[in-house]
Amino acid sequence: MPDKRTIVITGVSRGLGRAMALEFAARGHVIAGCGRTAAALVDLRRQVGASGHFNVVDVASDRQVDHWAQKVIDTLGPPDLLLNNAALINRNAPLWQVPAGEFSTLVDVNIKGVANVTTRRLDVLDDAAVEQLVGELPPLSILFNCAGYVHNGTILECAPKDWEFTMNLNVRSMYAVTRAALPRMIAEHQSKGTWSSMTSWRACRSSAPSLP
Ligand SMILES: NC(=O)c1ccc[n+]([C@@H]2O[C@H](COP(=O)([O-])OP(=O)(O)OC[C@H]3O[C@@H](n4cnc5c(N)ncnc54)[C@H](OP(=O)(O)O)[C@@H]3O)[C@@H](O)[C@H]2O)c1
């Protein structure tokens, strides 16, 4: 990477995360990192200097991650690169000898932890929440409207409330999200921004099964 970038790395208190933080910092990049061991983060900050921003965060905690993500964005802006590195490994043992609690912790950190760091919750049927999230994010380069619902049955089996829900989620939400995001996409990226919306052939097939 030629320019100075902002790089977020989870699990920087030891191992590969720590090594990446030190190397990226030595190459002039700004690093935001987390881990659960405070003393190790203090030590890393001492080595990296002012370009290191390290916080005690458990990535398995959605609440802690939300708080940290907001702090990183407020301080450094949106990151150029996110490395979901934090992970646990259970004791070396056959699966049937791994206690359920230990396995569950593994899933919390290695799977849910990645989702916590990478995603934000949004009910696309809630116009105010859409406006708020789009306002908090930097101008989008790509908007992919994928949320949708396919009623399982023919038109005759589809009650008006199902129809209304389908239209609200599949059509109105795409309008609402695109309408909220588009002005800043155009301003920032001119003609280079992209948005697309998911459509569904399956929906046509289930409501009109005789279609070829
Ligand atoms: N080492 C290898 O040979 C190897 C091979 C293939 C893939 N990998 C992958 O590379 C990554 C790093 O491996 P590593 O060997 O460097 O692991 P490691 O030495 O065990 O370090 C894991 C890091 O993740 C942090 N972490 C664990 N649970 C966390 C949590 N709940 N919240 C926040 N941070 C947490 C740890 O810090 P705290 O304990 O302070 O929280 C630590 O900084 C992992 O994703 C691993 O699966 C490694």
Could you say which of 118, 139, 155 is where a domain stops? 118
DSSP string, 132-173: HHHHHSPPPSEEEE------SS-GGG--HHHHHHHHIIIIIH
- Same domain assignment for residues 88 and 107: yes
The answer to whether residue 153 sits within a structural domain is yes
- Same domain assignment for residues 65 and 134: no
- Same domain assignment for residues 161 and 192: yes
pLDDT in tens, the chain (212 residues): 558 899 999 999 999 999 999 999 999 999 999 999 999 999 999 999 999 999 999 999 988 998 999 899 889 987 888 999 999 988 899 989 999 999 999 999 999 888 888 877 789 999 999 999 999 887 887 888 888 888 888 889 999 999 999 999 999 999 999 999 999 888 887 766 666 666 665 555 555 556 55
- Same domain assignment for residues 47 and 140: no
> Whose CA is closest to atom 11 on ligand 1?
85
Helix (H, G, I), strand (E, B) or coil at 62: helix
- Same domain assignment for residues 90 and 43: yes
Contact between 12 and 21 (Cβ < 8 Å) = yes
The answer to whether residue 1 sits within a structural domain is no
CATH of the domain at 83: 3.40.50.720
The answer to whether residue 212 sits within a structural domain is no
pLDDT at 143: 87
- Same domain assignment for residues 133 and 114: no
Could you say which of 118, 153, 179 is where a domain stops? 118
| The model scores a pTM over 0.85 | no
Residue 110 CA to ligand 1 center (angstroms) comes to: 9
CA dist., res. 32 & res. 40, Å (int)? 14
- Same domain assignment for residues 21 and 100: yes
- Helices 173-189 + 127-136 axis angle, to 10: 20
pLDDT at 209: 59
Range of the domain at 173: 127-207
Q: Which atom of ligand 1 is nearest to the CA of 59?
A: 32
The answer to whether residue 168 sits within a structural domain is yes
pLDDT at 200: 60
Contacts of 195 (CB under 8 A, 6+ apart): 140, 142, 143, 144, 145, 178, 181, 182, 185
Residue 35 CA to ligand 1 center (angstroms) comes to: 9
pLDDT at 171: 92
Domains: count for the chain? 2
Residue 17 CA to ligand 1 center (angstroms) comes to: 7
